[in-house]
């Protein structure tokens, strides 16, 4: 019996020990959904510590995990200005931060704890926590902030390093990191002139490598000022833009596409572009347009066609009304004229025109579809995942340009296209290439074959007829 009791006691002890070792909420207790919260720091916020060579400490209100929500805890803290290597230590309810070489005197340090720390139940900090203290300098509320954004997509970039390097001193670099909207902020930064650089630290070495996505700008800020500055980043490039395709959208419109993005501010009149027929005759170019310029051109033309079609509809309705009214005076010479012009047979005066008005057709969109005013909602741009503009209204780049010709291409004739002297978005010159195109005889609806206007009834005759009705 005692032997059995001993076995039961041992089993119970093992079970209790196992239960204590498991991390989780007490059985039957409320589920823990609250993230860890910093309740104390050493040094204290805005504390003046003229000589500080100890450890920074973040104390939490509960036990924290050794695992970060993303990355590692070694990347959880950013110290600005950066004056040495940062080492992170983990305790059950705290993180310690050591700056190799110690904290330099006469500086304002900003220590940012990123929201990657989580508790034992996986609840992660919702927002960054910022500690500001001084080793002798005055804490002046000077703020520099803005958005680092992708020059191609127009979207803010997440997790990019942002450096503010004084132009008169290379030894002290202020550091920030962008959030998921691309927003960065330097608070309590000394007034002065800086070069601001944002980059994607892909290899996590805290160094700006030549081929990492990056962007920079320069500025000056006074003590106590608040300055907002947005600037783009771009993948460095080593090769010029190369022509990959050219297609006719119709007989007077050619679409060229390159393997690289082009600066939307580039003056396309400066590049070399020729269209040559089989008999070596050059086709005269009317204009060379960026993609966004062609989109604006199409919209302008479509707006004009909407107005013209509306005027045609009004004139047609007036003519039909006049023709209907003159039926009461079939012997009138004026009424006969109106009936004839309006399409009503004198032998059958009750017959009225029953035909749908011919709608003008506008320029093709970038997919080669010929569009008319009722279908102008079909957007010419079909490049998904991009904003329309940058944060400050900047025009985004494209890989395509459109060439308008003064004379239509002849179907079934092969034309040689040559582009030269093209500069890509990164500023590399000598881009271009050559290809050939041939217009299919009936494959493309041709805006060049559409008349500029449709027959409109003579308003003078209509007016006279209306006067005659009132006699």
Long-range contacts of 344-352 (CB under 8 A, 24+ apart): 352/320, 352/323, 352/324
Interhelix angle for 459-469 vs 333-342, to 10°?
130
Q: How confident is the model at residue 304 (pLDDT cuts 50, 70, 90)?
A: confident
Sign of CA dihedral 285, 286, 289, 295: negative
Q: Give the integer Cα–Cα distance in Å for 116 and 74.
A: 11
Tokens of 282: 């050059």
Q: Say yes or no to pLDDT of 384 above 50.
A: no
Give domain limits for the chain.
38-233, 237-471
Tokens of 243: 């022509």
Q: Give the integer Cα–Cα distance in Å for 246 and 254.
A: 7
237-471 and 38-233 share a CATH fold: yes
| Percentage above 90 pLDDT, the chain | 58
Q: How confident is the model at residue 338 (pLDDT cuts 50, 70, 90)?
A: very low
Q: What is the pLDDT of residues 50-77, one digit of tens each?
A: 888 889 999 999 999 999 877 788 889 9
> Among residues 231, 152, 227, 171, which one has the least CA distance to residue 197?
231
**CATH level 2 (architecture), domain 237-471:** Sandwich (2.60)
Q: Give the integer Cα–Cα distance in Å for 73 and 274.
A: 59
Quickly tell me which residue has 């959030």 as its tokens.
179
Structure confidence at residue 19 (pLDDT): 43
Q: Is 355 helix (H, G, I), strand (E, B) or coil?
A: coil
Structure confidence at residue 29 (pLDDT): 63
From the CB of residue 211, how many other CB atoms can be counted at a distance below 10 Å?
10
Report the DSSP pairing between strands 56-60 and 38-42.
Answer: antiparallel
Tokens of 212: 């990492």
* Radius of gyration for the chain, computed over Cα atoms and rounded to the nearest angstrom: 37
Q: What is the pLDDT of residues 201-216, one digit of tens each?
A: 998 888 899 999 999 9
Q: What is the pLDDT of residues 256-271, one digit of tens each?
A: 999 999 999 999 999 9
CB 397 within 8 A of CB 151: yes
In terms of average pLDDT, the best of 10-14, 18-22, 416-420, 466-470 is 416-420
From the CB of residue 339, how many other CB atoms can be counted at a distance below 10 Å?
23
Structure confidence at residue 262 (pLDDT): 95
Which region among 85-99, 132-146, 150-164, 380-394 has the lowest average model confidence (pLDDT)?
380-394
DSSP secondary structure string for all residues of 363-405: -B-TTS-B--GGGTTS-S---TT--SB-TTSPBPPEEEEEEEE
Q: Give the integer Cα–Cα distance in Å for 420 and 426.
A: 17
Tokens of 210: 């030549």
| Percentage above 70 pLDDT, the chain | 73
Q: Is 391 helix (H, G, I), strand (E, B) or coil?
A: coil
Q: Say yes or no to pLDDT of 171 above 90.
A: no
E strands within 20-124? 38-42, 56-60, 77-80, 86-90, 94-99, 108-113
Q: Say yes or no to pLDDT of 443 above 70.
A: no
CB 108 within 8 A of CB 188: yes
Q: Could you tell me the end-to-end alpha-carbon distance of the chain, in angstroms, rounded to an integer?
A: 130
Q: Give the integer Cα–Cα distance in Å for 378 and 366.
A: 10
- Sorted by sequence, the CB contacts under 8 Å of residue 428 that are 6+ apart come out as 237, 238, 239, 240, 241
Q: How confident is the model at residue 327 (pLDDT cuts 50, 70, 90)?
A: low
Q: How many CA atoms lie within 13 A of 471 on its CB side?
A: 10
Interhelix angle for 333-342 vs 291-325, to 10°?
140
Q: Is 31 helix (H, G, I), strand (E, B) or coil?
A: coil
Give kind and range of the element (H or E) at residue 11.
helix 2-21
108: preceding bond cis by omega (within 30 degrees)? no
**CATH level 2 (architecture), domain 38-233:** Sandwich (2.60)
């Amino acid at each position: 019996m005692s032997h059995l009791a001993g076995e039961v006691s041992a089993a119970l002890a093992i079970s209790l020990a196992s239960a204590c070792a498991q991390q989780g909420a007490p059985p039957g207790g409320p589920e823990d959904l609250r993230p860890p919260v910093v309740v104390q720091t050493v040094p204290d916020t805005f504390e003046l510590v003229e000589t500080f060579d100890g450890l920074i400490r973040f104390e939490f209100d509960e036990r924290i995990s050794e695992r970060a929500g993303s990355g590692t805890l070694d990347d959880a803290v950013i110290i600005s200005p950066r004056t040495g290597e940062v080492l992170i230590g983990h305790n059950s309810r705290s993180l310690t931060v050591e700056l190799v070489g110690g904290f330099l005197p006469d500086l304002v340090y900003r220590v940012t704890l990123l929201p990657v720390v989580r508790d034992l139940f996986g609840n992660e900090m919702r927002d960054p926590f910022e500690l500001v203290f001084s080793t002798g300098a005055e804490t002046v509320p000077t703020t520099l902030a803005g958005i680092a954004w992708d020059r191609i997509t127009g979207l803010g970039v997440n997790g990019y390093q942002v450096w503010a390097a004084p132009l008169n001193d290379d030894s002290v670099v202020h550091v920030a990191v962008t959030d998921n909207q691309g927003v960065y902020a330097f608070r309590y930064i000394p007034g002065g002139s800086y070069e601001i650089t944002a980059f994607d630290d892909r290899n996590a070495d805290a160094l700006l490598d030549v081929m990492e996505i990056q962007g920079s700008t320069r500025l000056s800020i006074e003590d106590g000022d608040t300055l907002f500055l947005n600037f783009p980043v771009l993948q460095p490039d080593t090769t010029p833009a190369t022509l990959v395709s050219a297609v006719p959208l119709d007989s007077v419109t050619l679409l060229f596409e390159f393997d690289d993005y082009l600066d939307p501010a580039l003056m396309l009149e400066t590049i070399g572009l020729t269209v040559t027929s089989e008999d070596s005759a050059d086709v005269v170019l009317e204009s060379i347009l960026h993609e966004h310029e062609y989109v604006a051109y199409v919209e302008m033309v479509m707006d004009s066609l909407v107005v013209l079609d509306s005027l045609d509809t009004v004139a047609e309705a007036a003519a039909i009304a006049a023709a209907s009214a003159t039926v009461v005076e079939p012997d009138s010479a004026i009424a006969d004229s109106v009936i004839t012009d309006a399409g009503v047979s004198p032998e059958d005066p009750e017959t009225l025109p029953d035909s749908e008005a011919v709608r003008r057709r506008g320029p093709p969109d970038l997919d080669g579809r010929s569009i008319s005013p009722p279908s102008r909602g079909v957007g010419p741009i079909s490049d998904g995942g991009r904003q329309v503009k940058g944060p400050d209204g900047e025009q985004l780049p494209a890989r395509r340009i459109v060439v308008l010709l003064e004379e239509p291409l002849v179907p079934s004739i092969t034309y040689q296209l040559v582009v030269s002297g093209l500069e890509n978005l990164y500023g590399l010159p000598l881009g271009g290439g050559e290809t050939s195109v041939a217009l299919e005889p009936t494959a493309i609806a041709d805006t060049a074959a559409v008349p500029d206007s449709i027959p409109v009834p003579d308003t003078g005759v209509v007016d006279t007829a209306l006067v005659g009705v009132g006699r």
